[in-house]
């Protein structure tokens, strides 16, 4: 019995180590591929990586990495909620941008004073994001429209609605820039001086990101809703047999994903630009998809992935000083995601094969014992 337990624990430890080592090997493999590309263009890989590391370790750059990583992490959480139920919410990008436009317009009107206005802005963003995401969920359960198709279309519609709102309702022309009214000074979220050596502060929304990460873990792993969400994602037929309403879960999951998506633009709106303009960050929803894949929908894994992605994005600017195209970083990011997906798939297959072998041995042991007795 003890021998069996020892072997079982050994397999569990080996499987866990493989899951831990897989992303590290993927990053290493991406570095090798990037080095090959650099050599093919006549550039020195070590010099390139050293420049990235030196620039990324500067205090100001570190603060920028954390601030950008905060937005990336919230975006990844919004995407991961759908992923855990096998829903591909590509519409996160449109959901956060439309939420930011409406929230900026309402906040700029200063309907409430101080902290109350901040709360109003956040609530408006959450509601808009949830309602926009709910459309895709309702189309899925009532008309069978794939959320992939509907959210792609909704992204385009959200862009058009946002432009119309800024142009005709919320926009104020300042020189050549058309933007919403700036938020009042008492309706801004202050930063925190967490990194010595720079005056640039870390966004106060890093606290919200930590809370969301904890809430994500607890919701999916410690609540009935999380169990039903994961069960529905793994097998809809089994979920139906267990009495779970699949249609309800689809809509609710999309709404929850939209709620988190509505918060993506808040660090920029309430803590940096204080308005929505043509310079407002775009594409954060698609970045969140890559980071969710990189972190395997794990709260801690996505946090590490968000910081890694932010480091590569923000450190890439220094490559131009070496006459190296910053697009080399995009190549590295793409290879990292692809390599991680492949690595985790190999680990998953290893686990399945190991489990099949274990079951086969357990079934074979009683038969051998009966044969010996006969």
- The predicted pLDDT at position 370 comes to 59
- φ, ψ (nearest 5 deg) of residue 302: -70, -35
What lies within 8 Å, CB to CB, of 40 at 6+ separation is none
Mean pLDDT by 10 residues, the chain (374 residues): 44 52 78 90 88 91 96 97 93 97 95 94 98 97 95 96 92 83 94 93 96 96 93 88 92 97 97 92 94 90 93 86 84 87 79 80 67 57
- In this structure, what DSSP letter does residue 197 have? T
**How many helical (H) and strand (E) elements, i.e. helices and strands, does the chain have?**
14, 2
- The predicted pLDDT at position 17 comes to 59
- The predicted pLDDT at position 338 comes to 86
- The predicted pLDDT at position 355 comes to 79
Bridging pattern class, strands 177-180 and 171-174: antiparallel
SS3 192: strand
Beta strands in the chain (DSSP E): 171-174, 177-180
What lies within 8 Å, CB to CB, of 67 at 6+ separation is 202, 203, 267, 272
What lies within 8 Å, CB to CB, of 154 at 6+ separation is 91, 94, 95, 132, 135, 136
**Residue 47 · residue 182 · CB < 8 Å:** no
- The predicted pLDDT at position 41 comes to 85
d(CA 271, CA 293): 28
- C-alpha torsion angle, residues 11, 14, 15, 18 (rounded to 10): -160
- The predicted pLDDT at position 322 comes to 79
The domain spans of the chain are 73-297
- The predicted pLDDT at position 91 comes to 95
Query: CA nearest 283: which of 68, 126, 55, 53?
Result: 68
């Amino acid at each position: 019995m003890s021998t069996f337990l020892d072997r079982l624990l050994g397999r569990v430890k080996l499987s866990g180590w493989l899951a831990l080592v897989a992303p590290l090997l993927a990053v290493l493999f991406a570095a090798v591929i990037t080095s090959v590309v650099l050599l093919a263009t006549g550039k020195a890989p070590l010099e390139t990586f050293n420049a990235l590391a030196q620039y990324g370790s500067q205090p100001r750059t570190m603060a920028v990495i954390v601030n950008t990583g905060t937005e990336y992490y919230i975006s990844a959480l919004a995407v991961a909620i759908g992923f855990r139920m096998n829903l591909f919410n590509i519409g996160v990008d449109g959901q956060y941008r439309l939420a930011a436009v409406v929230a900026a317009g309402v906040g700029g009107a200063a309907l409430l004073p101080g902290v109350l206005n901040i709360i109003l802005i956040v609530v408006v963003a959450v509601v808009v994001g949830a309602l926009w995401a709910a459309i895709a969920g309702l189309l899925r359960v009532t008309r069978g429209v794939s959320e992939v198709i509907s959210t792609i279309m909704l992204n385009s519609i959200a862009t058009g609605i946002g432009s119309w709102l800024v142009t005709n309702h919320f926009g104020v022309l300042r020189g050549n820039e058309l933007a919403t009214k700036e938020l009042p000074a008492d309706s801004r979220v202050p930063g925190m001086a967490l990194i010595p050596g720079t005056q640039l502060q870390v966004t106060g929304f890093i606290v919200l990101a930590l809370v969301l990460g904890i809430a994500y873990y607890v919701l999916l792993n410690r609540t009935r809703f999380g169990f039903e969400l994961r069960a529905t994602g793994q097998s809809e037929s089994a979920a139906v047999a267990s009495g779970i309403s699949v249609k309800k879960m689809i809509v609710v999951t999309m709404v929850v994903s939209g709620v988190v998506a509505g918060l993506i633009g808040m660090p920029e709106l309430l803590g940096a630009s204080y308005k929505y303009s043509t310079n407002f960050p775009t594409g954060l929803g698609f970045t969140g998809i890559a980071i969710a894949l990189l972190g395997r929908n794990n709260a801690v894994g996505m946090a590490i992935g968000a910081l890694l992605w932010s480091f590569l994005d923000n450190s890439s600017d220094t490559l131009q000083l070496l006459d190296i195209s910053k697009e080399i970083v995009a190549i590295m990011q793409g290879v990292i995601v692809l390599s991680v997906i492949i690595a985790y798939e190999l680990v998953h297959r290893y686990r399945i094969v190991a489990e099949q072998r274990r079951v086969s041995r357990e079934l074979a042991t009683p038969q051998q014992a009966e044969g010996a007795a006969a």
